[in-house]
Amino acid sequence: GDSVTQMEGPVTLSEEAFLTINCTYTATGYPSLFWYVQYPGEGLQLLLKATKADDKGSNKGFEATYRKETTSFHLEKGSVQVSDSAVYFCALNGGSQGNLIFGKGTKLSVKP
């Protein structure tokens, strides 16, 4: 079945460092891909998404490109801030009912 695999955390970076969180997927058809972010004590919120191959989603300095050839949707940011500390979830819309299928989440901690 459809699935999402993202890198294990936690990831600890210094402020202004470059961030990459890897995400790969397995899916039939042509799913849309998403990154959600969960700040401490809050629900998940959409960070960015891409709906077809080669699309780039971007928001708040974060980017991810839908790579069909490598079945990947890696999240990147050029210079992280302390306020980016959160858990990041990669997801695709798939499954028998077309629901969102989430990865296990990657916790990011940014130190000043």
Partner 1 sequence: DAGVIQSPRHEVTEMGQEVTLRCKPISGHNSLFWYRQTMMRGLELLIYFNNNVPIDDSGMPEDRFSAKMPNASFSTLKIQPSEPRDSAVYFCASSERGGRETQYFGPGTRLLVL
Window 9-38: residues binding partner 1 (CB under 8 A): 32, 34, 36
Pick from 19, 33, 44, 64: which binds partner 1 (CB under 8 A)?
A: 44
Host H or E run for residue 37: strand 33-38
Question: Environment class of residue 76 by beta-carbon count within 10 Å: exposed (0-12), middle (13-18) or buried (19+)?
Answer: middle
Cβ distance to partner 1 smaller for residue 13 or 87: 87
Q: According to the binding rule CB under 8 A, does residue 42 interact with partner 1?
A: yes
- All residues at 6 or more sequence positions from 79 whose CB lies less than 8 Å from its CB, including other chains: 16, 17, 18, 61
Q: Which two tokens mark 50?
A: 């891409």
Closest separation in Å from C-beta 73 to partner 1: 15
Q: Which two tokens mark 55?
A: 């699309």
Pattern 90-109, partner 1, x by CB under 8 A:
---x-xxxxxx-x-xx----
CA distance 42 to 101: 19
Cβ distance to partner 1 smaller for residue 70 or 96: 96
Window 51-90: residues binding partner 1 (CB under 8 A): 89
Binding site for partner 1 (CB under 8 A): 32, 34, 36, 41-46, 49, 89, 93, 95-100, 102, 104-105
